[in-house]
Structure 1
Amino acid sequence: MTRLALWLALVGALLFGSPPATAQAKLPIRIGFQTGEVNVLLSHAVAAGLFEKEGLAVTLAQFPAGPAMLPALAAGEVDLAWMGEFPAVTGYANGLPIEILFMERIDATNVRLVANPAAGIASPTDLKGKRIGVAIGSTSHYHLLRALSQAGLKAEDVRLVNLTPANMPPAYAAGQIDAAFVWEPNVGAMERQGAKAIATTKSLGMITGGVWVARKPFVTGSPETVQRFLKAWDAAQNAYAADPAGVRAAEAKRIGMSGPDFDALVAGQSVAHPSFRQTLTADFLGAPGQEGESRLMKHLHGIAAFLVGEKRIQAPPADWAGLFDTKPIQAYLAGASAGVAKGVAKGVAKGASQ
């Protein structure tokens, strides 16, 4: 029996042939997330008890940024981690047994280049000789190099200041940098100090977002836990579609923002949360068997080349095929479809008997 067939058999038993999750023993799952990022769906899923409803006992592990999660994944201290594409590629290229299950979100304007108008910066062409805050080796650095290139500039034409995202707003307030390329909530903090956006992911013709990365031994060894996680996440996505403001409340509280202010922050991100079905298309992880031709895979190849150039990794992954694993989602969708068909058939039979 193939691995996918095993997944499908499991889902059928899990979703349709077993007692409700609340009647089962809770399965442990350790989830890593970034405190300096916006985690709308995760915060809602935790606050609304969606994981518990599916019989999961969740332990949350906080990290300041994606790269800090890699040692925890290597040590088996977390099972799933929400991170950007850069640490995912870095970890995989360095031999960590990790895989991307799906893209949690894609951002069009979350990552922005903002500048101080008083420094005479109105567009990227004005950056020559200026001090620019970036997290070296991260997506902000990658974005900045693209912005400079499109403006006819090189990295040597500006002064790069290596800062963590959280340290960029204070550095901007202190006049230590003239511009910065970073994401919410820190980019918004600088805009509230008067910084003006002069470039975004969208304006540069790039893509970026967040992915759910899992340890391979966890996925293969705990398939039922993975399926329960996917079911809870699907519920969070459906809730967000039905009541965006209500779902954002938990994350707004975590960040310490009012509802209207947080709504404005999210609007500035231009975020899209791909459905599981969208995950299996060329725009994201690709259709089964065609992952290598997907837009996300090609994007990750570009990131690997950048990381090699920055000496963050020694070489690109020798085998990219193991980075994506959509079998759990394929199994979940197949099980969900079977459940709908079963429900329809049951309704028809009930109607016929009345």
Structure 2
Amino acid sequence: MKYLTKSLSSLVLGGALAMLVGLGGSAQASPKVVNVAYQTTYSPWIEAMVDGKFEKATGYEIHWKKFNSGAAVMSAMASGDIDIGVLGSPPLTAAVSRGMDIQVFWILENIANAEALMVRDGAHVKTPQDLAGKTIAVPFASTSHYQLMYMLDKWGIADKVRVINMSPEQAAAAWQRGDIDAAFIWGPALGRIRKTGHSMMSAGQICALGRCTFEGLAVTKGFGDAHPQFMSKFVGVINAANQDYHDHPDAWRAGSKNIGAVIRGLGGDANDAVEEMALYQYPSLKEQVSCQWLGCGAQGGVAKTLQLTAEFLKQQKKIDTVKSNYSDAVAARYAATILDAAKQ
């Protein structure tokens, strides 16, 4: 699931999106109907989705559609079937780089500790230099791949290690067999390999060095421009869920009503959901509009992340061109409206 969410899959390999770019209009059947694509990442906002809080706050009829990959979400948005969609930074970058008219308007999760470069205990690796000659598994064209290659280059060992393409599940199996020495992955597979390994770097630590990754919400520009009040109310609901998660941790434990709603929405085990959610960071409303994320135009965190990710994808031959500026693909105005209202 997470591999498909974060990898570029057919989005970067096929030509379908390129043909659909010009069709990225709004999919609403009437002024108060919106189609929203979500994926299976455990997160506080899922509780609000399951309990109908978005519909109550906005007065819109919302068609929630589940997808298993960022590539599929992008194709659906390009064809006009989806107005708002969840996706990770690499597929978003690829779509924008190809001219798709969408904007990120909310950071659902800073990946933080939910992804990490893990080293197997039996590999005898204590320092980055010890990775020379070792084999590292990572899903290619993913957020993890982007950060891994940055660190290998920074450590000066990019040409001294063997990097192979594996899904998290494949990497965990290879880890158990002793076929690999390290892996940069996420999700349940990360939890399994932690038992016999140690973290060399987390996604959050690499973000602090200037290479951040995220999972966000994007809207087709046509829909966002036509429905600004809906958009502001929509992010207000997400912010309320995040704030409750932050302020009332006891209400988000296994067995709680909130986690029960998350499990009803996505399935799985309550304990796994609690554990996975704790690995992410959910930016506050103030952080969302700051230079760290959506604010400050081309100098903002999201715009810079898209630029740097595009350069990586071009190097990997996944896209042909890199835009000179990615600020047009970022919209802080909806979150800013809610923040301004809170100050009054």
- Identify the match of residue 266 of structure 1 among 277, 292, 297: 277
> Residues 244-283 of structure 1: CA distance to partner in whole angstroms, max 9, x if unpaired?
3244443356352243x5434433x2x3322223222111
Match of 2:269 among 257, 280, 297: 257
Question: How many positions carry a matched residue from both structures?
Answer: 304
Aligned match of 1:148? 152
CA contact (8 A) 2:109 2:216 kept: yes
State the alpha-carbon separation in 2 of the partners of residues 125 and 266 from structure 1.
Answer: 32
> Is the Cα contact below 8 Å between 2:145 and 2:184 reproduced in 1?
yes
Q: Deviations over 1:185-241 (max 9, x none)?
A: 43123224x232222124332422222111112212333432332232233223223
1:284 aligns with 2:278: no
Q: CA deviation at 1:61?
A: 2.7
Aligned partner of 1:22 in structure 2 is: none
CA contact (8 A) 1:27 1:56 kept: yes
Counterpart-to-counterpart distance in 2, 1:224 and 1:97: 20
**Is 2:102 the counterpart of 1:91?**
no
8 A contact 2:304–2:326 mirrored in 1: no
Cα 1:258–1:101 change in 2 (3 A) is closer
Q: CA RMSD in A?
A: 2.6
Contact 1:50 1:232 in 2 (8 A): yes
Shift in Å, 1:285: 1.5
SS in 1 for 2:223: helix
Partner Cα separation in structure 2 for residue 142 and residue 169 of structure 1:
20
Alpha-carbon distance in structure 2 between the residues aligned to 1:68 and 1:166: 21
Partner of 1:241: 246
SS at match of 1:308: helix
Go from structure 1 to structure 2 and tell me whether the alpha carbon gap of 1:151 and 1:220 turns closer, same or farther (over 3 Å shift): same
Tell me whether 1:275 sits opposite 2:284 in the alignment.
Answer: yes
Q: Which amino acid is the alignment partner of residue 236 of structure 2?
A: K
Corresponding residue number in structure 2 for 1:306: 312
* Pair 1:258–1:295, CA change in 2 (3 A): closer
In the alignment, structure 1 residue 297 sits paired with structure 2 residue 306: no
Deviation at 1:243, TM superposition (A): 2.6
Sort the Cα spacing of 1:212 and 1:145 in 2 relative to 1 into closer, same or farther, 3 A: same
Q: CA deviation at 1:28?
A: 2.7
Deviations along 1:6-55, one digit per CA (max 9) or x if unpaired, are xxxxxxxxxxxxxxxxxxx99332222333xx331232112232123223
What are the equivalent positions in structure 2 for 1:1-354 lying under 5 Å apart?
27-35=32-40, 38-54=41-57, 55-154=59-158, 156-192=159-195, 194-204=196-206, 205=209, 206-244=211-249, 245=252, 246=256, 247-251=258-262, 254=266, 256-259=268-271, 261-267=272-278, 269=279, 271-286=280-295, 290-337=296-343
Question: Structure 1 counterpart of 2:225, which letter?
Answer: T
Secondary structure in 1 matching 2:306: helix
Q: Given the superposition, is the C-alpha separation of residues 291 and 124 from structure 1 closer, same or farther in structure 2, using an over 3 Å criterion?
A: same
- TM-score w.r.t. the length of structure 2 is 0.78
Q: What letter is aligned with 1:188? A: G
**Percent of pairs identical after alignment?**
25
Residue 322 of structure 2 aligns to a residue whose secondary structure is: coil
With normalisation by structure 1, the TM-score equals 0.76
SS in 1 for 2:187: coil
Q: Distance in 2 between matches of 1:26 and 1:304?
A: 35
What per-residue deviation string (whole Å, max 9, x for no partner) do you get for residues 111-154 of structure 1?
Answer: 20112222333443232233322121221111111232233301
Matched residues in 2 for 1:53 and 1:80: separation?
18
After TM superposition, the structure 1 stretch with the greater mean CA deviation from structure 2, 76-85 or 173-182, is 173-182
CA distance in 2, matches of 1:242, 1:283: 22
Write the deviation string for residues 44-69 of structure 1: whole angstroms up to 9, x where unpaired.
11223212322343333333332332
Residue 318 of structure 1 deviates from its aligned partner by 4.1
Q: Which 5+ residue runs of structure 1 have no aligned equivalent? A: 1-24, 342-354
Structure 1 CA distance, aligned partners of 2:177 and 2:77? 36
Contact persistence 1:285–1:295 (CA under 8 A): yes
Read off the aligned partner of 1:327 and give its amino acid letter: R
Native 8 Å contact 1:125 1:148 kept in 2: no
Q: Deviations over 1:289-343 (max 9, x none)?
A: x322223322332212111111111121244231112222233344455xxx5xx
1:115 and 1:178 in contact (8 A); partners too? yes
